[in-house]
Structure formats: C-alpha cells, structure tokens
Amino acid sequence: MSDTAILWFRQDLRLTDHPALDAVAQRRILPVYILEDGPWAPGGAARWWLHHSLAALGQDLAQLGAPLVVLRGDPRRLIPDLATRVAATEVHAGRRTEPAGRRCDAETHAALEVIGARLVLHRTALLHEPHQVRTGAGAPYGVYTPFSRNVFASLEGLPPPLPTPGRLVAVPGAPVGLGLDALDLLPQPPVPDWAAGFGDHWQPGEAGAAARLAAFLDHGLAAYGDRRNDPGAPWGTSGLSPHLHLGEVSPRQVWHAAKAKGGKGLETFQKEMLWREFSHHLLWHRPEMPEAPLRADFAAFPWRPDASVLRAWQRGRTGYPIVDAGMRQLWQTGWMHNRVRMITASFLVKHLLQPWQDGEAWFWDTLVDADLAANAASWQWVAGCGADAAPYFRIFNPVLQGEKFDPSGRYVRRWCPELAALPDRWIHRVHEAPDVVLRGAGITLGRQYPAPLVDLAAGRARALAAFAAIKGDAAA
C-alpha cells in the first residue's frame, strides 16, 4: 500500500471527529474538495454557506500543513487523475446518501480500480448506516417511531468523537487547485447581493459550529421541549442544521455533547436529530423521493399550478402574517423556524394547491441548510404523500397556528414590521380587524399589507375535494 492517500471532503467539512481523516492522518495526504454539477447541485443560499465553509476549512488545513485543493468538475475523471499524479492507492471519503452522489461514488470506485486504487468510504455525516437499519422482517423502515426506537437503542454504545489530528503531512508537489472565487458560489454583479445580511446571522465553518453548539447547550437545550415551537423564542431551536448539513460538526459530537449536558429538553432534541437520520434512511431506500411522491396515488393529484400564486407565497405576500413572516425570514436569513416551515408548506400545498415540488425547489434554493433528504422527506410529509406522512386532511390553519405558537406576535412583528402597531388580538387576523384598528396601525389592506390570497374555509374545502378525487380514482 502506498504511503500517500487522497482525502476527499464532501459533506464533512471539519477536522474533528472525521473518520476518513483519522484513517489517513499518519500518511502523506492530498485533501481535496470538488464542486460537482448535475442534479440537485447546491442552491443559492447553500452555495453562499459553502463558500465560507470551504474558506474556513482551507485555513484550518493549511495551519496543520496540508492545504486544501479545490476543484470543479466530474470526480469520476478528476479523482483517478489526481490519484495517478500523486501515486495514491487509496481515496478516503464520507459515505453519501444522495442518489447522484451514490452513482458517482460507484463509478469513481470502478475508475480507480482500473489504475490499481480504491475508494474507501466512512460514516462521517450520520449516526447510523441507512442501509443497515432494518425491521424485524428485514425490510427498511417506513414509519418514524419504530425507526427511532431501533436507532436510539443502537446508540447506547456510540463511540466518543475522534480527536482533531495534529500536524498533517502534505503530498510533495501537490497540484494547485482553483481559488474559491473561481467556483462562483457567491452572488455576482449585476445580480444584487441578496445574501448581504446572512453574515449577521451565521458563522459558517467548524469554529462557528462549535460556538453555536456551545451556546445552544448553555441557553437552549434545557427548555428545548417547551420552546422549540415558539418561532420568536431566543434559542428555541439549536440553529445547527446548516452546520450539520455540511458536516462542520458531526452528529456524533452533537449527540454526545447534548447527552453530557442533559436536562429535560434532551430527549426531545435527540428525537429531532433522529428525524434527520430517518430522512436519510428514506432517501437511501427510496431514491425517487426528491421528485416523485412515495404514495403512488398522489401521482394523479389535481394540483393547480399558478406562477403568480407561487410568487406571492415566495415573497411573503399571502395576507396571512405567520406565513409571510416565515417566508421573509427565509429570504433575509436563509433559514426558517421549523414550526413555521410546516405552516408555510401546508399553506402552499393545501390551501393554495401548488405542487409540493415547487415548494421543495424554493426551499432548496433559499435555505442555507438545504439537505436533499430532509427537504424532500419533510415536504412529502406535509403534503401527505410521503412515508409516515401527515394525513392529507390535516390542514394547518395559519391563523390558529399563529395564535397558538406566536400569541404575542413577537415573530410576526419582527419579520412583517408593517404590522408592528397592531394589537395582539389582531396581529394574526389582519383581514378581520376593524377599519379603525387598521387605520390606527397605518394599514390599508392591499397597500401596506396584502389582502388574503385565499379564503381559508374555501381553500380547505378545495383541498379536501382534491384529495377525495384521488381516493376515488384509487378505488375505481
């Protein structure tokens, strides 16, 4: 075996608890990141995060003595070429669950075998191997609760995180890669810098992930079970999803750190982590999930695509404050509170009858934590067509949801400032407020704030009729 190895970074942009790095840390290594094009390439917000995450990883690797080589193109060609150039017989990387990534890895492995090298995959992004968790009958899980029980029990013996390596030995005469700017990950003129405010909310990179985790453990974990559904609560959620998506912190690090901290919010937080695991389990076994409904009867669902309706939802101009606040938070920060994600998604696919794939695509482009498995599984769950999905007739009423989870209007007032002067009683019922209240708040419906895009009762009835239609077709 050659003393030289390639370390291929993908969704594990960190140095701590990195099994692939640990496997080659005592050898001469060539750290590589390749920006791949193709289906489900990163969306705009995720590209912004990726730029800054790669910059941080590059600095960290350089300090340890093995600079990162950044490339763009097809790994099936680039990886074997690199292996030949540096005489590497092994390429170590994290295992992927995305269908395109799995195909790429299989073909890269075949190409490496031709030159006498091999691709060695490690678990770097998940707590479990999606293909190894099975029901008692040997089948993949399709329901979250028994899946979570199985995985939770298996994590009793979860090994501790691996340490950060010391000095690394770089390959002599390593090839020169691209500068980060050559990847065009950031908004470029004449396009406005729509990500200008992201840096006020996020610190991409391993150091940022560590700081976010520590702050959440100190300020959020204990009350997580009580505050996680309050979108206006400080530290109501961990904010770790974008760091986990690109692997700036490992789920094993998060699991052990949370368990060590303890508190009454721990179990609820762990269950949320296992939903992420379940999403990747589903994607592994149902690779069609990002494009096609997992329930076959939904292929005939009578959606009513409407570009103007979709645009109003995207821009937070629906006339329903909790929906509009969520969509504006998403646009301004690249992130949206999880409870509000469910409310906005339900409103789009049920009250507005827009295809769930259109909402999925918008989230893919605008979320800094856009994860193919979690995004697809969650949209299918809300739409009622996925594994263990919410029943289609479960239709969130955005007014009642707002009053329940944002009773004081703190969240709505932050992201819809034109509504700030409304009394709490009317903050989620703008269209029902008396004229004198609207005038006092400086609001004219249709001007400062839009009139409702749809009547909720009529939208609900239309959605239920559409569902009944496909159920009737299935029975015919």
Three-state SS annotation for 112-146: HHHCCCEEEEECCCCCCCCCCCCCCCCCCCCCHHH
Catalytic residue, chosen from 303, 331, 403, 418, is 303
Catalytic residue, chosen from 150, 194, 331, 338, is 338
Same domain, 451 and 358: yes
Same domain, 279 and 304: no
CA dist., res. 323 & res. 238, Å (int): 21
Q: Of 124, 149, 172, which one is at a domain's C-terminal end?
A: 124
Same domain, 302 and 392: yes
- Look-up of token digits 């570009």: 307
Q: CATH number, domain at 29?
A: 3.40.50.620
Q: Is 303 a catalytic residue?
A: yes
In a domain, 187, yes or no: no
Same domain, 114 and 136: no
In a domain, 181, yes or no: no
In a domain, 164, yes or no: no
In a domain, 165, yes or no: no
Per-residue confidence in pLDDT tens, the chain, 476 aa: 569 999 999 999 999 999 999 999 999 999 999 999 988 999 999 999 999 999 999 999 999 999 999 999 999 999 999 999 999 999 999 999 999 999 999 999 999 999 999 999 999 999 999 999 999 999 999 999 999 999 999 999 899 999 999 999 999 989 999 999 999 999 988 888 999 999 999 999 999 999 999 999 999 999 999 999 999 999 999 999 999 999 999 999 999 999 999 999 999 999 999 999 999 999 999 999 999 999 999 999 999 999 999 999 999 999 999 999 999 999 999 999 999 999 999 999 999 999 999 999 999 999 999 999 999 999 999 999 998 766 777 899 999 999 999 999 999 999 999 999 999 999 999 999 999 999 999 999 999 999 999 999 999 999 999 999 988 654 33
3-state secondary structure at position 108: helix
Same domain, 409 and 320: yes
Same domain, 130 and 119: no
Same domain, 118 and 136: no
Q: Return the ∠ at Cα 377 (arms to 208 and 297), rounded to 5°.
A: 170
Catalytic residue, chosen from 313, 335, 379, 426, is 379
CB of 445 closer than 8 Å to CB of 418: no
Phi (first) and psi of residue 279, to 5 degrees: -60, -45
CA 436 to chain CA centroid, nearest Å: 43
Q: CATH number, domain at 333?
A: 1.10.579.10
pLDDT value at residue 473: 54
Number of domains in the chain: 3
CB of 68 closer than 8 Å to CB of 32: yes
pLDDT value at residue 468: 92
Catalytic residue, chosen from 275, 331, 403, 418, is 275
Q: Of 242, 265, 285, which one is at a domain's C-terminal end?
A: 285
In a domain, 290, yes or no: no
Same domain, 8 and 98: yes
Q: For residue 155, give the amino acid letter.
A: L
pLDDT value at residue 380: 96
Same domain, 118 and 218: no
Catalytic residue, chosen from 356, 364, 381, 415, is 356
Q: Is 272 a catalytic residue?
A: yes
Same domain, 110 and 88: yes
9, containing H or E segment: strand 4-9
3-state secondary structure at position 289: coil
Same domain, 67 and 153: no
Q: Is 379 a catalytic residue?
A: yes
Q: Of 244, 260, 285, which one is at a domain's C-terminal end?
A: 285
Other beta carbons within 10 Å of 291: 12
In a domain, 45, yes or no: yes
Q: CATH number, domain at 131?
A: 1.25.40.80
pLDDT value at residue 1: 52
- Would you tell me the crossing angle of helices 356-366 and 321-333 to the nearest 10 degrees? 40
Domain, as residue range, for 18: 4-124
Q: Is 338 a catalytic residue?
A: yes
CB of 313 closer than 8 Å to CB of 350: no
Catalytic residue, chosen from 107, 272, 403, 418, is 272
- Look-up of token digits 């094009």: 37
Token pair of 437, please? 């209240």
